Amino acid sequence: MSRLPNLLAASQSAARRSRRMVVIGGSVLGLMVLSGPAAAPAVTHRPNILVIVADDLGYGDLGCYGATRIKTPNVDRLAAAGVRFTRGYAPSSTCTPTRYSLFTGEYAWRQPAKRTGILPGDAPLSIEPGRVTLPEALRRAGYFTGAIGKWHLGLGDGRTTVDFNARIAPGPLEVGFNYCHIIPATVDRVPSVWIENDRVVGLDPADPIKVSYEHDLGDEPTGLAHPEMLRQRADKQHSGTIINGISRIGSMQGGKSARFKDEELASTVVKKSVQFLESHGDKPFFLYVGLFEPHVPRVAEPPFVGTSEVGVRGDVIQQMDWAAGEILQALDRLHLAEDTLVIFSSDNGPVLFDGYFDGAKESVKDHRPAGGLRGWKYLVYEGGCRVPLIARWPGHISPRVSEQMFSLVDLTATLGDIGGAKISPKDSPDSLDLASVLLGGTTADLRDHTVLHGISDTLALRAGDWKYIPATQHGEATAVGGANPSDDRFVGNRIPSPLLFNLHDDPAEQVNVIAKFPEKAAELRQRLEDIRRQVSH
Ligand code: NG6
Ligand code: CA
């Protein structure tokens, strides 16, 4: 056996330790990282931090990750000026758990799935108020913090059903954000409204909002009863209340003046983000932008309709690129770009059919949303969890492509460190401080393994070149039609017997080598079990 795992373990604890080695100077701008074996280049001042997370954007969906039929010049430029990771991971292959991990530094599967699985639009807040999250720690350290776009982490305390007609709390403001302009869950789930801080935007009190995920409230047409009213035909699950010509998951009544228009969502995210950048004041800022594309329902704003070669999914990815570009341009215009660390990523892998018959599957041609990786959203295969991950900070991050492993769960400790914020390993138990990886202070793989999570609580261990996936008997098939046209055999996530892949030799996870390397499989199974049992705080 080589000594490599031990060395890696040592450097991982260095990654942990460096979080305690941060010294904050007397002034707001005085931050220094002490040097050590894995230390980053000295950070002499704290940057603004902008984290942009796309929704269901696959590893192969951007030009800089090999897409040719979809054009993403703005994100490609960002990548060319920064570091582009080829082993960036969403800790889960769905939204809520990934975003939970990103803000808390804890794997979501440590918490009950009903709190951190894919949440309905009326679910209570999944993060306990008072917890030192990434935004909370940055806020305490003097940052002005904002969340704009997709939330999907629940709202309200759960003691009563959340009332969208009154003050909505706890929510983003209680877990670290000074400002938010969000939609509660997903665009395909009711209520289809914007919330600014703790109130629904544009609500007429004479037309109160009611929401139910249990039964049809009865007053408004549903996709099930009135398919002729639909702009996009949908499956049964997505055939609830029709809002703006699109049926959603769940039932909504009232709030007519507050309902969003799908073709204005991206522009609203841009407008609110730019306003945030223009008005954040003297403090450094932390802005989280949850872009909606290319999640369903896919409705492009007029300038993007028909612009890609691969149908509406390509069109909305190009729209997403525009939206990211507008926000980046605002940084330039406001002379903030030099002082801003920008992170761009996605919450989980891609999917073609996800409830709406929008032609995405039929028009995909030879475009490979997961870049040739196996599987897609919902699954623990690489296609479900490996995502684009880009970071730019002029003068601090030298342009490069990195093969170092990085999980979005690491953003808590890493950005906390860079922002001079204190987040203890107890508060963020699964997050490694990879500031030195991000800033190029080391070429070592400080994260040599990571746990990946799929629906039905399937877990997998990615370690070195290896990937171990235990058998699961309780899988369910949610999405049909794989990310790759030939992928249909991989529908669902039921895994009848354990799998072992060597990703160095077999990046597409095609050949199960468990019979050839039983000891490696046993080692990884044990390691996964140990990590799973680690008690969270
Ligand atoms: C699934 C929905 C899917 C999507 C997903 C959440 C069904 C059958 N499918 O349950 O359409 O909304 O949840 O996606 O209901 S995510 O990116 O926010 O995790
Ligand atoms: Ca998603």
The verdict on 1 and 128 lying in the same domain is: no
Least-confidence region, from 3-7, 387-391, 406-410:
3-7
pLDDT at 322: 98
The verdict on 183 and 267 lying in the same domain is: yes
Atom of ligand 1 nearest to the CA of 186: 18
Q: How far, in Å, from the CA of 514 to the mean position of ligand 1? A: 32
pLDDT of 15 higher than 70: no
Domain final residue pick, 315, 334, 366: 366
pLDDT at 493: 62
Pick the closest to residue 371 from 133, 40, 58 (CA basis): 58
Q: Judge if the beta carbon of residue 98 lies within 6 A of ligand 1.
A: no
pLDDT at 355: 92
The verdict on 165 and 285 lying in the same domain is: yes
User: What is the rounded distance in angstroms from the CA atom of residue 194 to the CA atom of residue 315?
Assistant: 23
The verdict on 350 and 289 lying in the same domain is: yes
pLDDT of 199 higher than 70: yes
Question: Using CA positions, which residue lies closest to atom 6 of ligand 1?
Answer: 118
The verdict on 305 and 454 lying in the same domain is: no
Q: How far, in Å, from the CA of 534 to the mean position of ligand 2? A: 27
Q: How far, in Å, from the CA of 369 to the mean position of ligand 1? A: 18
Over residues 281-308, the mean pLDDT reads 97
Q: How far, in Å, from the CA of 52 to the mean position of ligand 2? A: 13
pLDDT at 449: 97
Atom of ligand 1 nearest to the CA of 150: 18
Q: Judge if the beta carbon of residue 249 lies within 6 A of ligand 1.
A: yes
E-strand stretches of 26-105: 31-33, 48-54, 83-89
Domain final residue pick, 323, 340, 366: 366
Could you say which ligand is closest to the alpha carbon of residue 348? Answer: 2
Could you say which ligand is closest to the alpha carbon of residue 58? Answer: 2
Q: What is the residue range of 81's domain? A: 50-189+262-366
Residue 394 domain-assigned (yes or no):
no
b/e sequence 334-356, b meaning 16+ C-beta within 10 Å: eebbebbbbbbbbbbbbbbbbbb
Work out the percent of the chain whose per-residue pLDDT is above 70: 87
Pick the closest to residue 379 from 491, 487, 292, 463 (CA basis): 491
pLDDT at 43: 52
Residue 201 domain-assigned (yes or no):
no
For residues 158 and 34, the model is more confident at 158
Model confidence band, residue 429 (pLDDT cutoffs 50, 70, 90): very high
The verdict on 339 and 271 lying in the same domain is: yes
Least-confidence region, from 52-56, 142-146, 424-428, 488-492:
488-492
Q: How far, in Å, from the CA of 354 to the mean position of ligand 1? A: 7
Q: Judge if the beta carbon of residue 186 lies within 6 A of ligand 1.
A: yes
Q: How far, in Å, from the CA of 234 to the mean position of ligand 1? A: 13
Domain final residue pick, 328, 351, 366: 366
Over residues 99-122, the mean pLDDT reads 94
Could you say which ligand is closest to the alpha carbon of residue 55? Answer: 2
User: What is the rounded distance in angstroms from the CA atom of residue 412 to the CA atom of residue 438?
Assistant: 13
The verdict on 184 and 81 lying in the same domain is: yes
Q: Angle at the Cα of 203 (from 199 to 208), degrees rounded to 5?
A: 100
Q: Judge if the beta carbon of residue 408 lies within 6 A of ligand 1.
A: no
Model confidence band, residue 458 (pLDDT cutoffs 50, 70, 90): confident
Residue 398 domain-assigned (yes or no):
no
Atom of ligand 1 nearest to the CA of 235: 8
Residue 31 domain-assigned (yes or no):
yes
Residue 307 domain-assigned (yes or no):
yes
Average pLDDT, whole number, for the chain?
89
Q: Judge if the beta carbon of residue 373 lies within 6 A of ligand 1.
A: no
The verdict on 163 and 309 lying in the same domain is: yes
The verdict on 274 and 313 lying in the same domain is: yes
- 274 three-state secondary structure: helix
How many structural domains are present in the chain? 2
Pull the structure tokens for residue 442.
């080391």
Task: Tell me the per-residue pLDDT of 17-35, one tens digit each, with 9 for 90 and over.
Answer: 444 333 222 232 333 333 3
pLDDT at 36: 34
Pick the closest to residue 98 from 387, 448, 332 (CA basis): 387
Q: Judge if the beta carbon of residue 481 lies within 6 A of ligand 1.
A: no
What's the sign of the alpha-carbon dihedral 152, 157, 159, 164? negative
CB atoms closer than 10 angstroms to residue 317 = 32
Model confidence band, residue 2 (pLDDT cutoffs 50, 70, 90): very low
| CATH number of the domain to which 528 belongs | 3.30.1120.10
Q: How far, in Å, from the CA of 118 to the mean position of ligand 1? A: 7
pLDDT at 159: 95
The verdict on 68 and 9 lying in the same domain is: no
Question: Using CA positions, which residue lies closest to atom 11 of ligand 1?
Answer: 354
Residue 91 domain-assigned (yes or no):
yes
pLDDT at 492: 56
**Is the Cβ–Cβ distance between 193 and 183 less than 8 Å?**
yes
The H or E element spanning position 210 is: strand 210-212
Task: Tell me the per-residue pLDDT of 433-445, one tens digit each, with 9 for 90 and over.
Answer: 999 999 999 999 9
Question: Using CA positions, which residue lies closest to atom 16 of ligand 1?
Answer: 95
pLDDT at 30: 30
pLDDT of 371 higher than 60: yes
Over residues 70-85, the mean pLDDT reads 98
Residue 436 domain-assigned (yes or no):
no
CA distances from 316 to 262, 264, 295, 390 (A): 11, 12, 9, 20
What's the sign of the alpha-carbon dihedral 260, 286, 51, 421? negative
pLDDT of 208 higher than 90: yes
Indicate the top mutation candidate among 94, 152, 353 to test ligand 1's pocket, ranked by most ligand atoms within 8 A of CB: 94
**Is the Cβ–Cβ distance between 364 and 43 less than 8 Å?**
no
Among 39-48, 479-488, 499-508, top mean pLDDT goes to 499-508
The verdict on 31 and 158 lying in the same domain is: no
Q: Judge if the beta carbon of residue 56 lies within 6 A of ligand 1.
A: yes
Q: How far, in Å, from the CA of 299 to the mean position of ligand 1? A: 16
| CATH number of the domain to which 355 belongs | 3.40.720.10
**Is the Cβ–Cβ distance between 427 and 132 less than 8 Å?**
yes
Q: Judge if the beta carbon of residue 237 lies within 6 A of ligand 1.
A: yes
Q: Judge if the beta carbon of residue 54 lies within 6 A of ligand 1.
A: no
Q: Judge if the beta carbon of residue 247 lies within 6 A of ligand 1.
A: no
Q: Judge if the beta carbon of residue 14 lies within 6 A of ligand 1.
A: no
Work out the percent of the chain whose per-residue pLDDT is above 90: 82
pTM of the model: 0.92
Atom of ligand 1 nearest to the CA of 98: 19
First-residue to last-residue Cα distance in the chain? 34
The verdict on 276 and 327 lying in the same domain is: yes
Residue 253 domain-assigned (yes or no):
no
Atom of ligand 1 nearest to the CA of 348: 17
Model confidence band, residue 166 (pLDDT cutoffs 50, 70, 90): very high
Atom of ligand 1 nearest to the CA of 238: 15
Q: Judge if the beta carbon of residue 354 lies within 6 A of ligand 1.
A: yes
Query: Is the bond leading into 399 cis (omega within 30 degrees of zero)?
Result: no
Model confidence band, residue 474 (pLDDT cutoffs 50, 70, 90): low
Q: How far, in Å, from the CA of 433 to the mean position of ligand 1? A: 31
